[in-house]
Amino acid sequence: MEWWKDPAWYSLFAAILALIFSVPSAVLSWKSLKWERDSADSARRSAEAAEQANLFTERALALNAGVDPGEVRALAPASRGDVSWQIEHRGGSQYVLRNTGTDIAEHVSVDAEQLGGLARSVPADAVIRPQQGVDFLILATWGHPAPNQLYIKWNDMQEYVAVPMPA
Answer yes or no: do 90 and 119 share one domain. Answer: yes
8 Å CB contact between 164 and 146: no
Report the mean per-residue pLDDT for the chain.
Answer: 83
Domain co-membership, 55 together with 86: no
- Residue 58 pLDDT: 76
Note the pLDDT tens digit of each residue in 48-76. 888 878 877 877 777 777 765 455 545 55
pTM recorded for the entire structure: 0.59
Q: Nearest-5° angle of CA 21, CA 26, CA 138? A: 165
User: What CATH number did the domain enclosing 155 receive?
Assistant: 2.60.40
pLDDT tens, 100-150?
A: 998 888 889 999 888 876 788 888 888 898 999 999 988 877 677 778 889
Q: Answer whether residue 44 is part of any domain.
A: yes
Statement to judge: residues 84 and 151 lie in one domain:
yes
Name residues whose C-beta falls within 8 Å of residue 95's C-beta, 6 or more positions apart in sequence.
87, 88, 89, 135, 136, 137, 138, 165, 166
Residues 54 and 82 in one domain: no
Q: Is 54 inside a domain boundary?
A: yes
Q: Within a domain: residue 115?
A: yes
Give the domain range for residue 8. 3-61
Are 163 and 143 in contact, with CB atoms under 8 Å apart? no
Between 16 and 67, whose confidence is greater?
A: 16
